[in-house]
Structure 1
């Protein structure tokens, strides 16, 4: 197999794990990111573009380049996202709300908007959206993030209906608490907001799953590779949690 795969926010974190997993499966890799330092560390053979996922002009130009360079696109991983503020809803500013929703939701919309015509022309394709368990259960003190991730699921399900007749599938992965720098930031901010230690918050997240565990980025990446593969040829419109089975959506000790 030699599919052409685009991963947004693919230079680090979950996106980087996705890119590595697809590359290991023999696919061509193109990643976007706003982190130029991380983009500079991409392996030989990968393509990388610095673009903000919520910048319409930048994303449009990216897909024009993909069309010209690759001639098509087999799989899209719309993965770009930011954590947003950790605060009670009355303390969230409108600017912070808009910034969070812009990257998490509008970034997914723009990637799908420009990928759809390319995939329609080929009569096939797979779109994998990174949502969150916050998009299933809600998330106290994270209203902008939870709202955006719920909306990503609505977008995905609508696209599955719109694009299915053209042979294009759409699915969403909902990670739980994923080990890594972004989650460390969330833990620290939540500890401050709740008057707890970082370790107490960490333990609360782990105890809120039936498997008593955080998730590794590779777990998310493996699911993305499956969803984009022929093995999932009739899997579309699905919301798949990779979270160790969340039992308690309001983690606490």
Structure 2
């Protein structure tokens, strides 16, 4: 039997590389999936591809009224919201802190941090109405350590860590679990294509050759962990952080001579 039958999941940034992977897997596992995104064409197309049990909602995560409308539409369509995946995120073009525009700083924090905050704020009452549920915030290994040239993104993801733990403490007695995933370098356009205003993608700064698992991550790697965290198998896990990076943060792996 599919793991998420009769469960409704809202995935923000649901048309992107990781988001679409999450959406497809959840739908395949029996969930009603709400695809939240600002790209109406791609969102509607993905919902049409999946068919019954999938719905697109126009969602700008930086606007509280957009969140309220998305939650209301989710409950109207499927009766309840059981799981929120705060996946939407944007990257800044690489720049020194002294060369970073205030508008860039504000935009990155609006989406990555305020968007996550508003998601928790507006979804919590709906999850409570449903008798509990789960929230997973997609952060980044850039939220574990400093990374030169990416100050706005790094700051936003560090803050998501504290927000995750605080929400877990506040919502635990409502049977709502809150956890975070920190992906490393994953082969999606977010990583392999330049951010707006940039000429170099993040992937140019990271060769997987030294990783313990010497490859870039795939969206399915992140999705597999997500499905575990929102499942009953993770019922005793909240406020936790999961790094999934192929060993990136461990440092260079031992190089062995070929036999």
The answer to whether TM tops 0.5 is: yes
Go from structure 1 to structure 2 and tell me whether the alpha carbon gap of 1:200 and 1:106 turns closer, same or farther (over 3 Å shift).
Answer: closer
Show the counterpart of 2:11: 7
The whole-number CA distance in structure 2 between the counterparts of 1:246 and 1:61 is 39
Point out where structure 2 has 5 or more consecutive residues left out of the alignment: 252-259
Go from structure 1 to structure 2 and tell me whether the alpha carbon gap of 1:199 and 1:127 turns closer, same or farther (over 3 Å shift).
Answer: closer
Q: CA deviation at 1:170?
A: 0.4
Secondary structure of 1:10's aligned partner: coil
RMSD of Structure 2 on Structure 1 (CA)? 2.3
Secondary structure of 2:248's aligned partner: coil
> Given the two structures, how large is their TM-score scaled by the length of structure 2?
0.88
Q: Match for 2:137 among 129, 136, 144?
A: 129
The correspondence of residues 87-236 of structure 1 with structure 2, limited to 5 A, is 87-186=95-194, 201=204, 204-236=206-238
Q: Match for 2:43 among 22, 25, 39?
A: 39
The whole-number CA distance in structure 1 between the counterparts of 2:204 and 2:36 is 32
- Given the alignment of the two structures, is residue 49 of structure 1 paired with residue 57 of structure 2, yes or no? yes
Secondary structure of 1:206's aligned partner: coil
4+ residue runs of structure 1 moved beyond 6 angstroms? 187-191
Q: CA deviation at 1:37?
A: 2.3
**Structure 2 contact 143–156 (Cα < 8 Å) conserved:** yes
The whole-number CA distance in structure 2 between the counterparts of 1:225 and 1:200 is 26
Q: CA deviation at 1:120?
A: 1.6
Show the counterpart of 1:24: 28
> Given the two structures, how large is their TM-score scaled by the length of structure 1?
0.90
Secondary structure of 1:207's aligned partner: coil
Q: CA deviation at 1:183?
A: 0.7
The whole-number CA distance in structure 2 between the counterparts of 1:199 and 1:229 is 32
**Structure 2 contact 211–246 (Cα < 8 Å) conserved:** yes
Q: CA deviation at 1:159?
A: 0.5
Q: CA deviation at 1:122?
A: 2.8
Cα shift readout 1:75-126 (whole Å, capped 9, x = no counterpart)? 1100010012211111100000000110001111111111101112233100
Point out where structure 1 has 5 or more consecutive residues left out of the alignment: 193-197
The whole-number CA distance in structure 1 between the counterparts of 2:210 and 2:197 is 18
Go from structure 1 to structure 2 and tell me whether the alpha carbon gap of 1:231 and 1:238 turns closer, same or farther (over 3 Å shift).
Answer: same
Show the counterpart of 1:195: none
What is the aligned residue count? 244
The whole-number CA distance in structure 2 between the counterparts of 1:147 and 1:70 is 36
The whole-number CA distance in structure 2 between the counterparts of 1:13 and 1:134 is 18
More helix by share: 1
**Structure 1 contact 53–103 (Cα < 8 Å) conserved:** yes
